[in-house]
Amino acid sequence: MAQKDGTTGSERIIGLSKSDAADRVADADESRDPDAVRAVLSHVTEDGAVTVDGVDSAVTDTSMILSTAETRVELASIDLDDAREAAGDDAAVGAVRSRLDVFEAKVANANDRVESLGEELQGLSDWRDDPRSVYDIVLGLREVASESQALTAHADDIQLDIEEFERWLSNHDVRVRGLDGDVAALEQSLDGLEDRVEAVVDAEGSADAEDAEDADRATEWCNAALRVRVSALLVEDVRAELADLRELAPESDADTDGLDDAAAALDDLDARVQRLRERLDELARPPWADEYGARIESFEETLAAFEPPVSWGAVQAELDDARVGDAE
């Protein structure tokens, strides 16, 4: 079957020089960038011309790239099986189960992507009988190759994350350091929230407070009120992690000072969250509560549905939907 070059009918690019073929493909569709077209066609060019063998080689090369991705995804699946086995009965502990759930979702998604890319490549491999243009075939092959390479890197990252999980699972000190990092991140987040609250305080009583600046203060107050509720959930989530780490701690390890220190720090952070919430309640003006009170209450009800271990991507999405304006 004669190949088409895109939108111009029965003209072919097989046998043309790369330059002439690129010009023909670009002329057929003004949205195509000539330099990009030449870059694509370079993958099927031999001795300066677009050839059948060049396209066949591109199919073979893409197949090899996809095969590498398939292997890496399979290795990630094997590593996940090993991690499940290593977890044993501890897989019932929330902190362990949540991590395994994340890996299982990532591996399942990677397997789906491999399968989808394989189906796409199969269709492109029969390019001689394909009604699409040679250029579109080559472009499709490049996309499959690029996505396969990205998937290979993603699968490698999954393997590294699983290896890190197994270190976390087998080492009490590693778990404590991770918890300390969570506590430090929460403390830093509260520092930023306190700055937001202070911004509302500092603007109080300004000459234009009843006009535009008051509207800005109301927005800042609302977004801070939303964030303080997220902070409360953060503390709850880290407390649950702490409880799980106590359960995972080996009975032979009498040194629980690290966990006790984290517990004390969480008590302090919880108190800070409550003080910030009370301060925001004190700052609230009746018009602000009238305008944003229902929004804040609705968000609080939404957060109540989340239980540790919390999906923080989902919480962030809810916060993005609830906050006012372009606040971060």
Does the pLDDT at position 7 exceed 70? no
Mean pLDDT on 16-32: 87
Interatomic CA distance for residues 38 and 18, integer angstroms: 7
**Contact call for residues 10 and 2 (beta carbons, < 8 A):** yes
pLDDT at 149 over 90: yes
Does residue 1 carry a pLDDT above 70? no
Residues 144-151 have a mean pLDDT of 98
Q: Which of 16-30, 60-74, 173-187 has the lowest mean pLDDT?
A: 16-30
Across the chain, mean pLDDT equals 90
> What distance in Å separates the CA atoms of residue 325 and residue 53, rounded to the nearest whole number?
56
Give residue 278's pLDDT: 95
pLDDT, tens digit (0-9, with 9 covering 90-100), for 201-235? 876 654 444 555 678 889 999 999 999 999 999 99
Q: Output the pLDDT for position 11.
A: 45
Domain ranges of the chain: 16-169, 172-204+212-249+257-322
**What is the torsional sign of CA 157, 162, 165, 171?**
negative
Q: Which of 1, 149, 141, 151 is nearest to 59 (CA)?
A: 141
Question: Could you tell me which residue, 209 or 319, shows the higher pLDDT?
Answer: 319
Of the given ranges (73-87, 104-118, 130-144), which has the lowest mean pLDDT?
A: 130-144
Asked if pLDDT for residue 328 goes beyond 80, the answer is no
Query: What integer pLDDT is reported at residue 2 of this predicted model?
Result: 45
Q: What single string gives the DSSP state of each residue in 182-208? A: HHHHHHHHHHHHHHHHHHHHHTTT-TT
Q: What value does the mean pLDDT take over residues 17-34? A: 87
pLDDT the model gives residue 202: 74
- pLDDT at position 211 is 56
Tell me the Ramachandran region of residue 48: left when phi exceeds 0, alpha when psi lies from -120 to 50, beta otherwise: left
- Say what percent of the chain tops pLDDT 70: 91
Query: If pLDDT is split at 50, 70 and 90, which confidence band does 323 have?
Result: very high
Among 28-32, 60-64, 89-93, 171-175, the least confident range: 28-32
Between 6 and 302, the more confident residue is 302
pLDDT band of residue 75 (cuts 50, 70, 90) is very high
> 13: number of CA atoms within 13 Å, CB side?
34
Q: For position 253, what pLDDT does the model report?
A: 52
pLDDT in tens, 247-286: 998 876 545 678 999 999 999 999 999 999 999 999 999 9
Burial per residue of 68-90, b for 16 or more beta-carbon CB atoms within 10 angstroms, e otherwise: ebbebbeebbebbeebeeebeee
Select the more confidently predicted residue: 258 or 121.
Answer: 121
**Considering only 84-93, 131-140, 148-157, 200-209, which range has the smallest mean pLDDT?**
200-209
